[in-house]
Structure 1
């Protein structure tokens, strides 16, 4: 019983490291804390190589994933192919 509690405490503590790194790069601390707790070996390198998440690169435009047309960042659909942009 004490061994399981110790493992849980260590996992939760280790999960803070990738969460803090991801938070510094503009990501959600809570989501990355859970991710780091459950999969520390994967989450730590992922957090280290994560980009800063700049959403407005290119003067307020983004590229459609289907037809590669430059579209305004505020557009809900691509005017050429009609692809719907879903924000996460």
Structure 2
């Protein structure tokens, strides 16, 4: 095997390994997004020592999420009725 063939084979393996890693990236992006949304709604960024801020943030974000879900459902029903 010549040096050029070895270089070509090494490059092909590198490309295949990279492609395999990128396919795992999709699941990683989804899991990170789900984790971020869960932490946002659970008010992980709020001050846990201040109970009013912590619970107010959780309640507010929960109500906001319920409103968004309600609007999406309403919009879907609106589109289906014509």
| Coarse TM-score class (shorter-chain normalised) | 0.3 to 0.5
Q: Which has the larger radius of gyration?
A: 2
Q: Identify the structure with the greater strand proportion.
A: 1
The TM-score, its normalising length taken from structure 1, stands at 0.38
TM-score where L is the length of structure 2 = 0.40
Greater RCO between the two (CA within 8 Å, min separation 6)?
1
Q: Which has the higher helix share?
A: 2
